[in-house]
Amino acid sequence: MDKVECRSCGKSCIPRLWNIKPFLSNLSFIPLRYLKSQHVCPFCGICMYETGGELTVWAKLLLGLVVLPIIFVTVILGDPPMRKVEKYMFLYYIYAVIFLWFLLKNKISNWSSK
């Protein structure tokens, strides 16, 4: 295993891992963010760096297909989200197809690079 130099005490060591739940890690049963791992120096106890904690696929879907369209319709177009839904539904379908295409394109490219 590779040793990392601690910025606080200056010693070269193999860091210990401390897993923490990030803010908004779970929304009832849907995991929204992955666990964060803090890499802690065994000599001085300072957190050297953190890894993880990014959004899960479910969070990206929830954000892209529910939250952002509601904000768009409310703020940009000036209509409440439940009024005149039929009028803007075709925009939502176009947006959903484009969003899902970009999300799947990134996922497939990540799978093929592993």
Can you give the pLDDT of all 114 residues of the chain as single tens digits? 689 999 999 999 999 999 988 776 666 567 778 888 999 999 999 999 999 888 888 888 877 887 777 777 667 666 555 555 666 677 777 777 777 777 777 665 555 444
DSSP bridge pairs for 20: 36
pTM for this entry: 0.55
What φ, ψ does residue 113 adopt, rounded to 5°?
Answer: -80, -15
Find residue 16's DSSP bridge partners: 40
Q: Where are the beta strands (DSSP E) in 1-45?
A: 4-5, 12-13, 16-20, 26-27, 30-31, 36-40
Largest CA distance in the chain: 64
**Tokens matching residue 7:** 């910025």
Rounded Cα–Cα distance for residues 44 and 22 (Å): 24
Task: Indicate the SS3 state at residue 32.
Answer: coil
